Structure 1
């Protein structure tokens, strides 16, 4: 998780962390990992929009 977070800090939004358990056996850490992955995905989308905006201006 620390390595993935470090990559995101350095603008690498292609990071994906796998959950430890399956969907029927999730724990709090799995939920945190899922939220982290969703956050990284949304940050990547925002970064793409920012780049497109700057290139159009």
Structure 2
């Protein structure tokens, strides 16, 4: 949906949709933080999340 947008304009939308997707599809997780990383024309989204055990974990997804 945001493929044709400049990365700096698309990033807030991608972060919001990342949080929404985790909340919807993995209700056992609590999203702690979403960290976008932009280098040249590539963006990586790193999601920090926590389960009931309290340990913060990370998943990184290139866009």
Instruction: Give the TM-score taking structure 2 as reference length.
Output: 0.31
State the structure with bigger RCO (CA 8 A, min sep 6), 1 or 2.
1
Indicate the structure with greater strand content. Answer: 2
Indicate the structure with greater helix content. Answer: 1
Instruction: Give the TM-score taking structure 1 as reference length.
Output: 0.33
Greater Rg by CA = 1
